[in-house]
Structure 1
Amino acid sequence: MATAEPSPSLFVRSLSTVEHNPTALKLILGAKLRELRTGAGLEPADVDLKLGFSRSKTSRIELGRTGCKQGDAVALLSLYGVEGDARAEEFLRLVEQSRQPDWWRSFSDVLSDFFAPLVALEGAAATIRTYEPFYVPGLLQTPDYAEAVVTSGPGRLLPHDVRRRVDLRQRRQRRLTEPDGPRLWAVIDESVLLRTVGGPGVMRAQLEHLITLTERSNVTLQLAPLDVTAAIGVGTGVTYLRFALGDLKDAIYIEHLTDSTFSQKPQVVEQYRDMLDRLGACALTPRQTTEALRDRLSRL
């Protein structure tokens, strides 16, 4: 029986647009290196010792916390028996791509460290699910509404910083308009419509914008009545990122006043996914939501 030729790729699926997301690539490459190491029957400490790495360097690379240099990648692939073929060439090309700067780095002057994980990975998601109890979700905000939200936060910001934060929000929204952009499924608490953020004119334009967005095929918007959110006991906003690639685990992001929780632990992600499922099942349907938005607009 003839020996099967090795796969021309180490990845089951094409990475497609994820190749242009360095943060996502680091996580995917790290997960693949962990899989290769496990297949070779080695522990992270064994690899550190064999390759002369500093303590826990292998683990940091596998977790995506440390970018993998070309030389390190060559040494790791060689140790795991992957060298001199198309698979190694592809992997090294992706390593180089992962070392490119993320687009959001240009907004580092106004991007909080705790917010960076969400911004870094939402562009690589196939589906973004979010529940927002206080404001219209950032990906659905108009510039004027976003400015009103930013200026209402803690501390006083210079006009330049406010404008930069609004620009960042608009840059994030651009991904939704691209042909291969993610699907957005947003559930908004009913109380959000009762808050006239930025004044009647700003709120009116925001509601008109939401109504327009409900016509898009990749946007699902639902309104959660107060009794629904009270019964489910959500308590805070949450964003759930689902990725099409098996090499990238789903994630949840919860923002607090001065920090955030970002987790890819399956048991944590599952709990919040279940909560979002229950919210979606009990909230108004998309059609009912559009009617509620029009009704609120008529009352402003």
Structure 2
Amino acid sequence: MAAADPNPSLFVRPLGAVEKNPTALKLILGGKLRELRSVAGLDPADVDVRLGFSRSKTSRIELGRNGCKAADALALLALYEVTGEERIAEFLRLAQQSRQADWWRSYSDVLSDFFTPLVALEGAAERIRTYEPFYVPGLLQTSAYTRAVIKAGPGHLLTHEAERRVRLRQERQRQLDQPDAPHLWAVLDESVLMRAVGGPEVMRAQLEHLVEMMRRSRVTVQIAPLDVTAAIGVGTGVTYLRFALSDLKDAVYIEHLTDSTFNQRPQVVEQYRDMLDRLGACALTPAQSLEALRERIDKL
């Protein structure tokens, strides 16, 4: 029997796509610090006082809302009696990576606060499952279709603002081109095919793009007939993020007209996962969905 590693890694390995996602790293580092604090028998207020932190600083770090500076990380690890040069160096390296700028921050001028959690974490997911009752999912949209959706949305945007949102969506889509891209499984309400968003030509190009995307091994598209979605009663768009690492909790994003809900509570996530399971089981198979798309294209 092999001897136990005297200095085991603080983190589950390999990190994969997560290692390039500062937001995900903040959450992982924060969660690990929370575990270490709990083992040490301290509460966040105790840590703040002992280390001379500002009020609630420890909690903000643990929740992934704040990055962790090297000096703060060393102080926390010393307080929690974490030893071993390799473990400490590993933590410091990931802490530094977590403080890098996320790619999407350059679009903060057009990125709504309620949409940020999804954009920040979808690239770190192993699997993205989504149901859309009104439009083709953003990760599968053509630029012309996106423009039409944005134009039809609430509020009035200037031309350059609308184009910035189009580019943001295109940047999100590029994550699907990465070697460690998540598997995207999208279920579309049948009515999505019937709405000629942007006109027949734009819609035809969009459906042809869907057909093309379905050739990818990591993209699955299903069409849910109207009687299926009526029976299951989804009612709104839902996106579920599944992460490969146990250090990251699965999450659901539920979109409304002018805001959204991003939730990682296991009991809530499980309810939406079950709903998506039932949708997938009752929807057309991918092969049947492909045929439905081709039939609709022929009619445009």
TM-score for both structures, normalised by structure 1: 0.97
Q: Which residue of 2 aligns with 1:34?
A: 34
Q: Distance in 1 between matches of 2:11 and 2:232?
A: 39
In structure 2, C-alpha distance between the alignment counterparts of 1:122 and 1:74, rounded to whole Å? 30
Any conservation in 2 of the 1:8–1:86 contact (CA below 8 Å)?
no
Write the distance in 2 (CA, Å) between the matches of 1:16 and 1:41. Answer: 32
Secondary structure of the structure 2 residue equivalent to 1:46? helix
Cα offset, 1:41, TM superposition? 2.0
Per the alignment, residue 12 of structure 2 pairs with 12
Q: In the TM superposition, what is the alpha-carbon distance from 1:2 to its structure 2 partner? A: 11
The one-character-per-residue Cα deviations of 1:114-158 (angstroms, maximum 9, x if unpaired) are 111100000000000000000000000001001100111112211
Once residues 190 and 2 of structure 1 are traced to their aligned partners in structure 2, the CA distance between those partners, rounded to angstroms, is: 56
Specify every segment of 5 or more residues in structure 2 that has no aligned partner in the other structure, as ranges: none
Taking the aligned partners of 1:160 and 1:3, their CA distance within structure 2 comes to 62
Q: Secondary structure at the match of 1:161?
A: helix
Name 2:270's counterpart in structure 1.
270
- 8 Å CA contact 1:131–1:187 kept in 2: the answer is yes
- Retained in 2: the 8 A contact 1:224–1:283? yes
Q: CA deviation at 1:12?
A: 2.4
Report the residue type matching 1:188 in the other structure: L
- Residues 212-227 of structure 1 aligned to structure 2 (within 5 Å): 212-227=212-227
Matches within 5 A, 1:97-112: 97-112=97-112
Once residues 289 and 141 of structure 1 are traced to their aligned partners in structure 2, the CA distance between those partners, rounded to angstroms, is 17
- Matched-pair contact (CA < 8 Å) for 1:133–1:237: yes
Q: What is the percent sequence identity of the aligned residues?
A: 76
Give the drift of 1:178.
Answer: 1.3
Deviation at 1:47, TM superposition (A): 1.5
Larger deviation, residues 44-53 vs 281-290: 44-53
Q: Which residue of 1 aligns with 2:73?
A: 73
Question: Residue type matched to 1:154 in 2?
Answer: P
- Following superposition, the deviation at residue 240 of structure 1 comes to 0.3
Q: Which residue of 1 aligns with 2:153?
A: 153
What secondary structure is seen at the aligned counterpart in 2 of 1:12?
coil
TM-score by length of 2: 0.97
How many pairs were matched up? Answer: 300
Task: Give the counterpart letter for 2:185 in structure 1.
Answer: W
- Could you tell me which amino acid in structure 1 is paired with residue 132 of structure 2? E
Residues 2 and 211 of structure 1: is their aligned pair in 2 closer, same or farther, counting only changes over 3 Å? closer
- Tell me which amino acid in the other structure corresponds to 2:106: S
Deviation at 1:203, TM superposition (A): 0.4
Kept in 2: contact 1:31–1:247 (CA 8 A): yes
1:184, 1:220 within 8 Å by CA — same for their partners in 2?
A: yes
AA aligned to 2:207 is L
Pairs within 5 Å for 1:1-300: 4-83=4-83, 85-300=85-300
* SS, match of residue 123 in structure 1: helix
In the TM superposition, what is the alpha-carbon distance from 1:3 to its structure 2 partner? 7.6
Instruction: Compute the displacement of 1:257 (Å).
Output: 1.7
Deviation at 1:14, TM superposition (A): 1.8
Please give the root-mean-square deviation of Cα atoms over the aligned residues, in Å. Answer: 1.5
Distance 1:155 1:50 in 2: 49
Secondary structure of the equivalent of 1:145? helix
**Change in CA separation of 1:92 and 1:196 when aligned onto 2, cut-off 3 Å:** same
